[in-house]
Amino acid sequence: MVVDNHLIDSITDRFSCLPAIPTWGRSRDDDFGVGSRSFPVNEYVIVYCVKDKDVSILRVVHGRRDMEAVFGD
């Protein structure tokens, strides 16, 4: 398996940005529950949850994946 260090750096850089601007990503309340959001990075999507001032990364998923199947509706 080939690891793309630039892609990994791009994704992890976003991790540190999300607490500063937690509303940056798209709201996914209806898809994954209240406070859930997603933010695209290249072909991947960071799915995270915002509660009060805390940001929790739930998953990083390839954008072509069926998100509902990944999260087990």
Q: What is the CATH number of the domain that holds 64?
A: 3.30.2310.20
pTM of the model as a whole: 0.84
Q: For the residues 14-39, what does the mean pLDDT come to? A: 90
- CA–CA separation, 49 vs 55, rounded Å? 6
Residue 42: pLDDT above 60? yes
Residue 67: pLDDT above 90? no
- CA–CA separation, 32 vs 16, rounded Å? 22
On average, the pLDDT of the chain sits at 87
As for how many domains the chain has, the answer is 1
State which residues form the domain around 9.
Answer: 5-71
